[in-house]
Structure 1
Amino acid sequence: MSELKMTGKQLRALGYPQGPVISISIDVIAQYYATATAEEITTILAKVLADPAAYTEDAVWAQVALALVPEARPEIIPLREKPVDYAVFGAGFIEEGTIRQLNSAVRLPVAVAGALMPDAHQGYGLPIGGVLATENAVIPYGVGVDIGCRMCLSIVDLPVDSLTTKASQYEKALKYKTKFGAGAEWKRNDEDPVLERDEFKEIQILRTLQAKAAGQLGTSGSGNHFVEWGVVSITDAHNEWGLAPGDYVALLSHSGSRGLGAQVAGHYTRLAKELCVLPKDAQHLAWLDLDTEAGQEYWLAMNLAGDYASACHHLIHKRLIAEMGATMLARVENHHNFAWKEVHHGKELIVHRKGATPAEKGVLGIIPGSMTAPGFIVRGKGETTSLHSASHGAGRQMSRTKAIASISGEEMRKMLQDNGVTLIGGGLDEAPGAYKDIHTVMAAQADLVEVVGQFQPKMVRMANGGPAED
């Protein structure tokens, strides 16, 4: 079916007034109704024009409706004068700007509690490493652009010395069984039940993204996303898998929901800003009420994106483990860009973790270091002041721009060589020196998690530089 084109002349003929609503309508039609029939699009345009007030909270048509009835646009919602309580872990090495960002978030009228993890640094809306609990409201930028960005670690039955004796085989597997970067797709891909989910049929924006999701399934993003082989040292004799303490080969990956998540995040963030107008310095914290159609749609789309991200990791691990002829012995995985319904302070709240690892008592997770520094398998302690959260990594101490300007290629090569790490791809923006000391970060959250094991990278695959997706 050819794509439907709608012009300003046609819209004016339907009764749409000259002004911004024309270009807004054309954009909505191009993005969400490109394959609709002329009759279908004319029918919905007529309905919106006849009763725009009925569409001011619609997930697709709200911007058009609000342009038709400007008086329906919400007034600016003021922040609280006094923030709700929040805890900061590792305050001594977190920049003041990052703390200011969280301080704005905990002044939202819907905020109930907050926390800042020791790897925190500035982002959009919530800082990276920020945790925010709200009542019946979800903040798209509180989840992040890369919805469901997560870690996945598989421990396998290969001998540790094979990382040296069969290094070329491991390297070949990483080169040819992974794909990295914005827009990366497999020409021939596996199927997965996540692609058959009803949300792809029921939510307009997801209908337009299903083909992209199918092509990108099992691929990784750019920036700090990686797939790497290394050695896991299990130190807890009472671990959940019954593995004997000692060293094992393991596969660790970090990435999220690819173009699907980015498009969902962008769409619902724009909608939230239309429906929830905040002061300029807090506008990225705009929320969607979960009692509205838009809020429910985002919640469903967010959960789908999270499940899609999980499926991506599982497919990556399946391909690489099969390529090496190995068997999986154990797996640990967790989101760190997501929102959950949890009970805190005696009531159900929406807990946003933007770059933070769930650390409810007894829950396992992965906290990576850098391409040369160790990562850690951790077990949550259920600390209430952190809202059952911990850091999602070491955290940046340099921006990407500063890292590229400050660290030379020779310095990076020497650091990799000194640590016995082979790097495939990657850029100076992800150099180990751009990150905080993971041991300092772990010490600052000793009350939040206990260490079950440690992962040391040996062979790392990343995209060839470029912006991160999370």
Structure 2
Amino acid sequence: MAKQKLDIKLLSAIDFPSDVARSVALNIMNRHFKHTPNDEKLKIIQHVLETPESYLQHATLGLLAHKVAAKILLAEPFEVFQLNDEPKHFDVFGSKHIEVSAINQMALAMRLPVAEKGALMPDAHQGYGLPIGGVFATKNAVVPYGVGMDIGCRMSLTILEQTDAYVEDKRYELKKALENYTHFGNDGFLDFDQHHDVLDHPDFSLMPLLKKLHGKAVKQLGSSGSGNHFVEFGVVTLYEGNQTSLPAGRYAALLSHSGSRSLGANIAQHYTNIAMNTCKLPREAKHLAWLDLNSEAGEEYWRSMNLAGEYAKACHDRIHKNLCEALGIQQVLNIENHHNFAWRERIGDDDYIVHRKGATPAAKDVLGIIPGSMTAAGYIVRGLGNDVSLNSAAHGAGRKMSRDRAKNSFTMSSLKKELQSKNVTLIGGGVDEAPLAYKDIDLVMKSQTTLVAIEGEFLPRVVRMAKD
């Protein structure tokens, strides 16, 4: 392809924050993008100007991104906040299962000027911003890292028309369906067409950031992330007197765990950067920067977060639909819930913004799913509406080992023996997700009997995860 040289005249259509930025852009394009068509060069420059935070580490575009980001930082008003000397009170459920670092991290969050209420769930462990298992309430302020990078990470359980015997009788067919109709990780996507109404949401056209992310959202629809995300077939046992619409018994079921993919991660990073640039906090708390929901950025984040939540649900809907259609089976009941999200909720006599980062909504009689591990039971639960926990419960067993420690502690041979002993077939996965890297789910459940009632359980049988 012939070289195409960019000149100042062609750049006149772009509004640069400074003459220096314009000069840097021109130099970068003509040195490093010689064979790129000029219209494509203009698109690249425009994207850097609009989302400089995405390019700060880029080998060639990083210099331009830093020039733009520095100009924005100087132009945007910001306010410096100090932490309160003492944290506001927060209740800890199952403290004997929780590492001190997670409790300290929650205490730091409760020193924020916007902190109103908090609680720590029994599966809690250290994370970024809020600890995983942290529940944090404010008044009209949202902390992007209080929701997390994987906005709308959620559980979805479909109970099927088949009995439990179907899972054992059709194990090979279930394995092949998972291999052919699910996809994990950031690279690639499902190789068949699918659609969901969420892709036509008007905010994808109205908001510049979402417009840029729409194409990848289309490609990643119906797929899952890496880490502890999974899609699995198993057996559900509904207990006598359960509050679902089905009678007690044993059923074949499909369970999935994942979030909003690249869409949510980009939204989280973009608005966290804005929050950190406009809400200055001491170094140890900088990732807990918040956005006022009356501000333009706060309103944009709230709308984007909710769209990411809808997209996460759409991915689960497609996963379950794709698998059921491939196998020729029917769904009879679906139970689902977010566990990385923020909600407007009334607690007591006041309205709050309730952040649940790795916590299950557990308002009165609300159904949810709390998984165990790739071999341990998960539980169908009904919320008891406990205000002390901000109407929340654990979102899983919770890690007791970091991924690195798990990799150094277990072998694939020991993992295979564990899977065999529990009659579980695993596709993908790795020792970082070994069952012993997690807390005992039954001990976690015993620590929250005032938060949820157990309606039934799910036992995994054929599990697919991302490759280690």
Distance in 1 (CA, whole Å) between partners of 2:215 and 2:227 is 24
Q: Deviations over 1:376-404 (max 9, x none)?
A: 00000001110000000000000000000
Contact 1:75/1:277, CA 8 A, preserved across alignment: yes
- Superposed, 1:319-358 pairs within 5 Å as 319-358=322-361
Distance 1:298 1:374, change over 3 A: same
User: 1:36 Cα deviation (Å)?
Assistant: 9.6
- Superposed, 1:13-28 pairs within 5 Å as 16=18, 18=20
Tell me the amino acid that sits aligned with residue 278 of structure 1. Answer: L
Contact 2:360/2:392, CA 8 A, preserved across alignment: yes
- Superposed, 1:160-179 pairs within 5 Å as 160-179=164-183
Three-state SS of the structure 2 residue aligned to 1:219 is: coil
Distance in 1 (CA, whole Å) between partners of 2:230 and 2:134 is 22
Contact 1:339/1:350, CA 8 A, preserved across alignment: yes
Distance in 2 (CA, whole Å) between partners of 1:449 and 1:376 is 10
Contact 2:73/2:277, CA 8 A, preserved across alignment: no
User: 1:82 Cα deviation (Å)?
Assistant: 2.1
2:83 to 63, 79, 85: 79
Distance in 2 (CA, whole Å) between partners of 1:354 and 1:324 is 34
Matched, 1:463 2:466: yes
- Superposed, 1:40-439 pairs within 5 Å as 64=68, 67=71, 70=74, 73-241=77-245, 243-439=246-442
Distance 1:281 1:214, change over 3 A: same
User: 1:76 Cα deviation (Å)?
Assistant: 2.8
**Structure 2, unaligned runs of 5 or more:** 30-37, 50-64
Measured on the aligned residues, the alpha-carbon RMSD in Å equals: 3.1
Distance 1:137 1:164, change over 3 A: same
Distance in 1 (CA, whole Å) between partners of 2:154 and 2:15 is 49
Contact 1:21/1:68, CA 8 A, preserved across alignment: no
Distance in 1 (CA, whole Å) between partners of 2:320 and 2:5 is 40
Q: How many pairs are equivalent?
A: 438
Distance in 1 (CA, whole Å) between partners of 2:111 and 2:240 is 41
Distance in 1 (CA, whole Å) between partners of 2:215 and 2:419 is 38
User: 1:70 Cα deviation (Å)?
Assistant: 3.0
Q: Deviations over 1:195-254 (max 9, x none)?
A: 01111011111010101000000001111000000000000424221x221110000000
User: 1:164 Cα deviation (Å)?
Assistant: 1.9
Tell me the amino acid that sits aligned with residue 278 of structure 2. Answer: L
Distance in 2 (CA, whole Å) between partners of 1:386 and 1:463 is 33
Tell me the amino acid that sits aligned with residue 444 of structure 1. Answer: S
Distance in 2 (CA, whole Å) between partners of 1:270 and 1:35 is 29
Match of 1:441 in 2: 444
Contact 2:181/2:190, CA 8 A, preserved across alignment: no
Distance in 1 (CA, whole Å) between partners of 2:140 and 2:205 is 26
Distance 1:407 1:199, change over 3 A: same
What TM-score comes out, normalization by structure 1 length?
0.87
Q: Deviations over 1:21-75 (max 9, x none)?
A: 978xx99xxxxxx989979x99xx9xxxxxxxxxxxxxxx9x9587267385524
What TM-score comes out, normalization by structure 2 length?
0.87
Distance in 1 (CA, whole Å) between partners of 2:247 and 2:179 is 32
User: 1:180 Cα deviation (Å)?
Assistant: 0.8
Distance 1:100 1:20, change over 3 A: farther
Distance in 2 (CA, whole Å) between partners of 1:252 and 1:37 is 45
- Higher alpha-carbon deviation: 80-89 or 95-104: 80-89
Three-state SS of the structure 2 residue aligned to 1:118 is: strand
User: 1:186 Cα deviation (Å)?
Assistant: 2.1
Distance in 1 (CA, whole Å) between partners of 2:22 and 2:281 is 22
Tell me the amino acid that sits aligned with residue 103 of structure 1. Answer: A
Tell me the amino acid that sits aligned with residue 453 of structure 1. Answer: G
Match of 1:30 in 2: none
Distance in 2 (CA, whole Å) between partners of 1:464 and 1:304 is 28
Distance 1:132 1:15, change over 3 A: closer
Distance in 2 (CA, whole Å) between partners of 1:421 and 1:201 is 44
**Structure 1, unaligned runs of 5 or more:** 28-33, 46-60, 466-470
Distance in 2 (CA, whole Å) between partners of 1:345 and 1:5 is 62
Match of 2:55 in 1: none
User: 1:324 Cα deviation (Å)?
Assistant: 2.0
